[in-house]
């Protein structure tokens, strides 16, 4: 993928500039301005999102939308580490097939784990982009195919692992979240994929209901002669923002599963990852749902600490497990906040010291600035700020929730 020297010089001279300012300096007819601006903006995004790529001078970046949608370095590395574990016992030479190659960020990290790697993508320009960038990154053991992977399934070689990141936009560009609405249709091709590789890694939107995704995949695999099942669900967050939902489908049903979870007969392992914090469990390990401890809480109770689970745990919905494993008390069944009298320093989420708790109006009186959050409360943050005249920011944290049927305010500080 070649571009002329004036364009290269323009990119180098302006890559730290605001792209709008850079556009104003483009007076040379021989500068490919749209391409140059894509490269400047792409490199600027990559500095924080993909520092390994940004450090490579020969990388060519795609337009804005592709950069916005691609994996970050941390989530791509997570998948590479996951692939390494999943294929640790696979016979060599090992092979990765990425059936939805795209910009190639995930491929660039995962391919290094395998002896051979195959990239498949429908859009010709992305294939050429990936070929160029992989070589620039020193990945020389890959092959690249242009076409619809669905049409190639009968011709694909056996592999150790197949990676799929189905498109989550429809023909009109609108986002779709159900696995059945993604392209390619994973549910229809899943049984065929398990005949090619014993392990399938499916990357999905974090907005998806993972319970439904597991049910959908399980139903799709019911007729598969390989006996494959969903063995693991990974909910991956970065800096407390949920980024990806990963499903692992394996023909080894003993890998990560336990019998007796639901109608499928198997309980996948649920892994909640947020930066360096990883909590894993199986559905069969969830404590029996009991009446909430919060039924005994009253406004006269004075717990010392408040806990907010991280984004991955909130997505997983394993609130009873958190209460049991970390010995904290839920404020109320639907509040998804916890309290304790003594500090639980290893709780996976944000921890606050409670300075006041009580009825909302009385407890918020005199607070002019705070960070406000609502959980199971009949008003939005904006409505709360307006009603109680609370500006945003500062070192005070307010959680408004419902406890034992009463609207309650927790005023907190960092411990």
Q: What is the pLDDT of residues 247-302, one digit of tens each?
A: 999 998 655 555 444 444 568 999 999 999 999 998 665 565 544 444 444 444 68
Which of these, 287, 251, 249, lies nearest to 268 by C-alpha position? 249
Give me the pLDDT at residue 254, please. Answer: 58
- 93-134 tens-digit pLDDT: 999 999 999 999 999 999 999 999 999 999 999 999 999 999
Coil, strand or helix at 17: coil
Asked whether the predicted pLDDT for residue 48 surpasses 80, the reply is yes
**Residues 222, 227, 232: CA angle, nearest 5 degrees:** 90
In the chain, DSSP finds a helix count (H) and a strand count (E) of 15, 17
What's the token pair of residue 260?
A: 């007796």
Give me the pLDDT at residue 89, please. Answer: 95
Asked whether the predicted pLDDT for residue 175 surpasses 90, the reply is no
Q: What is the pTM of this model?
A: 0.90
Tell me the β-bridge partners of 97. 118, 162
Give me the pLDDT at residue 3, please. Answer: 80
Give me the residue label for tokens 């800096």. 239
Q: How confident is the model at residue 224 (pLDDT cuts 50, 70, 90)?
A: confident
Per-residue pLDDT averaged across 213-233, rounded?
94
Choose the weakest-confidence range: 2-6, 274-278, 342-346, 362-366.
Answer: 2-6
Q: Sign of torsion, CA 151 152 153 155?
A: positive
What is each CA distance from 392 to 41, 45, 243, 367, 374, in whole angstroms? 31, 28, 26, 11, 14
**Residues 35, 41, 45: CA angle, nearest 5 degrees:** 140
Mean pLDDT of the chain: 90
Cα 198 from Cα 168, distance rounded (Å)? 25
């Amino acid at each position: 993928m070649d571009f002329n020297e004036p364009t290269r010089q323009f990119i180098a001279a302006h890559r730290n500039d605001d792209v709008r300012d850079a556009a104003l300096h483009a007076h040379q007819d021989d500068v490919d301005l749209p391409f140059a601006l894509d490269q400047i903006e792409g490199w600027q995004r990559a500095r924080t999102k993909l520092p390994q790529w940004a450090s490579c001078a020969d990388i060519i970046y795609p337009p804005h939308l592709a950069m916005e949608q691609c994996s970050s370095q941390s989530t791509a590395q997570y998948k590479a580490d996951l692939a390494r574990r999943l294929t640790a016992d696979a016979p060599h030479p090992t092979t990765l097939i990425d059936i939805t190659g795209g910009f190639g960020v995930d491929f660039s990290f995962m391919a290094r784990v395998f002896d051979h790697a195959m990239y498949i993508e429908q859009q010709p320009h992305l294939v050429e982009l990936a070929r160029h960038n992989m070589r620039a990154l020193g990945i020389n053991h890959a092959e690249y195919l242009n076409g619809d992977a669905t049409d190639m399934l009968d011709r694909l070689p056996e592999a150790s692992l197949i990676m799929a990141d189905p498109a989550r936009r429809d023909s009109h560009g609108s986002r779709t979240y159900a696995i059945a609405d993604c392209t390619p249709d994973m549910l229809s091709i899943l049984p065929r994929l398990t005949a090619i590789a014993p392990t399938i890694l499916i990357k999905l939107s974090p907005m998806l209901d993972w319970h439904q995704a597991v049910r959908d995949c399980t139903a799709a695999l019911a007729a598969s002669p390989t006996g494959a099942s969903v063995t693991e669900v990974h909910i991956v967050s970065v800096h407390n923002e949920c980024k990806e939902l990963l499903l692992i489908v394996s023909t080894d049903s003993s890998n990560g599963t336990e019998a007796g979870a639901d109608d499928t007969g198997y309980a996948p392992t649920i892994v909640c990852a947020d930066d360096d914090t990883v909590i894993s469990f199986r559905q069969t390990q969830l404590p029996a749902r009991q009446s909430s401890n919060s039924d005994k809480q009253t406004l006269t109770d004075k717990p010392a600490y408040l806990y907010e689970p991280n984004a991955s745990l909130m997505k997983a919905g394993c609130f009873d497990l958190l209460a049991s494993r970390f010995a904290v008390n839920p404020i109320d069944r639907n509040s998804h906040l916890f309290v304790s009298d003594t500090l639980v320093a290893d709780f996976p989420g944000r921890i606050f010291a409670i300075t006041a708790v009580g009825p909302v109006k009385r407890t918020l009186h005199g607070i002019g600035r705070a960070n406000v959050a609502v959980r199971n409360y009949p008003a939005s943050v904006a409505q709360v700020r307006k009603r109680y005249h609370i500006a945003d920011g500062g070192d005070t944290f307010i959680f408004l929730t419902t406890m034992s049927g009463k609207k309650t305010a927790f005023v907190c500080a960092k411990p």
